[in-house]
Every structure is written in structure tokens, then in C-alpha cells.
């Protein structure tokens, strides 16, 4: 995403597919966001917890204890992380994300939307880059200020579900500003 610096905004929503295995990770990601560390935590989670879990099918790599063992390495205050994980704020955020994703019939990960275009499943980097480049051209040719394109075109004129929060979608998420 660094090659699109300033041109692309990433919003992450919590999709809890296997609650027994990953609920703690979702709560920890929310709590890390409250410290302004969502993306460093998110990236480290894949490297230090999920990939080792997937390689050996070792559920201990997804445990709260394991997450707490490496969280400080990405600048997260572990005591505050645990307190925020137990807060109603993080519980409500995850429930809200799940409810919003259900409106869009998202039921698996990864699921991506690029300016309203649904991408189900993972794509090779080059295919994903091609899609982003095509969508950026649409933005450039639209005559709409790029900073306003998402709100005006995708949310304002797009698929009905994208039009308003009240109408079933759109809105916030984890965009690196902490939640």
C-alpha cells in the first residue's frame, strides 16, 4: 500500500469467522487501535500468531497469553491492552462491524471492496494492484475531488446498501486513527 501513499484509504472491519480461535485477536486489535497501534498490531498478529498457528495448527499461537507476549514489541501497552479488550467499547465495535458486514452479505475472509467493487477471496498482488489502478483511473476521470469520491460516488450514487448507515452500510472502520 505504500506505493499508493495518499491515494488509498484502508478500512478494516472485524469478521469473526471462528470465535473460539480468534475472538481474543479481534478484541486485542480493537484495544491496540485505542492506543493508535491498530496497523502495527494487525501486521504483527499475522506474522507472530496467525502464520505460526496455520503452519503447525497450534492453537496456543492464537491465545491471549501468546498475543500478550509479543504485543509490547509493536509499542502496545499490554496492561492497557488487556483492560481495553475487556471493555464494552471493543465488544460493541466488533458486534457493530459484524452487523454491518452482514448487511453486505459478507460471510468469509478475506472479503474486500475497492470503491464498492466486491472482491471475494484473496487476489495475487498484481491482480489486486491492477484493480486498484483501474479504480484510481475512474476516480481521476470522474471530475470529482479524489478526497470526496468515496462519499459522493460510492456512498452517494452506488449500490443502495452503500448509500447510508441507516440504509444498510457504509461508514467508519479501522483506518489507522484508532478505535
For cell 495475487, what's the residue? 124
Flag whether 97 is in a domain.
yes
Flag whether 87 is in a domain.
yes
Flag whether 146 is in a domain.
no
Flag whether 54 is in a domain.
yes
Burial class (CB in 10 A: 0-12, 13-18, 19+), 168: middle
- Structural domain count, the chain: 1
β-pairing, 111-114 with 117-120?
A: antiparallel
How confident is the model at residue 161, as a pLDDT? 57
Q: Return the C-alpha torsion angle 83, 176, 102, 166, nearest 10.
A: 100
Flag whether 96 is in a domain.
yes
List alpha helices for 35-158, DSSP H. Answer: 38-45, 51-56, 64-70, 78-85, 88-103, 125-142, 146-149, 156-157
Whole-model pTM: value is: 0.72
Domain that holds residue 36: 19-103
How confident is the model at residue 14, as a pLDDT? 81
Flag whether 178 is in a domain.
no
pLDDT string in tens for the chain (179-residue length):
678 888 888 878 888 777 777 889 999 999 999 999 999 999 999 999 999 999 999 999 999 999 999 999 999 999 999 999 999 999 999 999 888 888 888 888 788 888 878 888 788 889 989 999 999 999 999 998 888 888 888 777 766 555 444 433 333 444 443 33
Flag whether 115 is in a domain.
no
Q: How many residues does the chain have?
A: 179
Flag whether 60 is in a domain.
yes
Amino acid at each position: 500500500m505504500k506505493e499508493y501513499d495518499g491515494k488509498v484509504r484502508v478500512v478494516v472491519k472485524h469478521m469473526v469467522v471462528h470465535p473460539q480461535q480468534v475472538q481474543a485477536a479481534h478484541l486485542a486489535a480493537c484495544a491496540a487501535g485505542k492506543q493508535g497501534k491498530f496497523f502495527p498490531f494487525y501486521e504483527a498478529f499475522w506474522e507472530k500468531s496467525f502464520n505460526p498457528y496455520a503452519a503447525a495448527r497450534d492453537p496456543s499461537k492464537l491465545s491471549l497469553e501468546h498475543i500478550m507476549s509479543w504485543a509490547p514489541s509493536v509499542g502496545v501497552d499490554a496492561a492497557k491492552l488487556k483492560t481495553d479488550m475487556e471493555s464494552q467499547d471493543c465488544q460493541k465495535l466488533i458486534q457493530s462491524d459484524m452487523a454491518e458486514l452482514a448487511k453486505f452479505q459478507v460471510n468469509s475472509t478475506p472479503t474486500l471492496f475497492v470503491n464498492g467493487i466486491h472482491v471475494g477471496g484473496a487476489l495475487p498482488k498484481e491482480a489486486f494492484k491492477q484493480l486498484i489502478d483501474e479504480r484510481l483511473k475512474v476516480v481521476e476521470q470522474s471530475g470529482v475531488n479524489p478526497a470526496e469520491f468515496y462519499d459522493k460516488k460510492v456512498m452517494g450514487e452506488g449500490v443502495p446498501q452503500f448509500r447510508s448507515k441507516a440504509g444498510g452500510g457504509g461508514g467508519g472502520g479501522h483506518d489507522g486513527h484508532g478505535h
